[in-house]
Amino acid sequence: MDLKYVLYIGAKPEAVWQALISPEGTKAIFFGCILDSTFEVGAPYAYIGPGNDGDQTVHVYGNILAFEPNKLMSYTEHPGPSYREKHAELETRVTLTLEEVGNSTKITLVNDQWPADHPSYENAKESWPIILSNVKSYVETGKTLDLGW
């Protein structure tokens, strides 16, 4: 039931990392959302942007489990309050790992610890490949994919 994706990006880990955490990068990659956190282990985080509740919609939130710049970020993940009634009970874990391979970066994303019958599983299964493809496109070209949405 774990979701795991591996992708290679034609850039150094530092460039990929900036796309994953900077406001400019996250707005491009995560459909207009910023990643709000101090990034300290145990600190809360939230992806906030346009959505069901206006421009400040919390899409997902949780707590930072591990944070090593340019290498590793792991966090718990809950769907935003406007997406699932029992959002606080619906927790998974996301771990992003970056490895330098020549002049490129291997990015591995694992989304695991899914509770049985989690209502967001199928959505996550479809969304992660789009998000990771956006990361690759954005880092390599400065633009995300045009999916016609």
pTM: 0.95
| CA dihedral angle for residue 74, residue 100, residue 22, residue 130, rounded to 10 degrees | -70
Output the tens digit of pLDDT for each of the chain's 149 residues.
Answer: 899 999 999 999 999 999 999 999 999 999 899 999 999 999 999 999 999 899 999 999 999 999 999 999 999 999 999 999 899 999 999 999 999 999 999 999 999 999 998 999 999 999 999 999 999 999 999 999 988 87
Closest CA to 7 of 111, 140, 143, 109: 109
Architecture of the CATH domain 3-141: 2-Layer Sandwich (3.30)
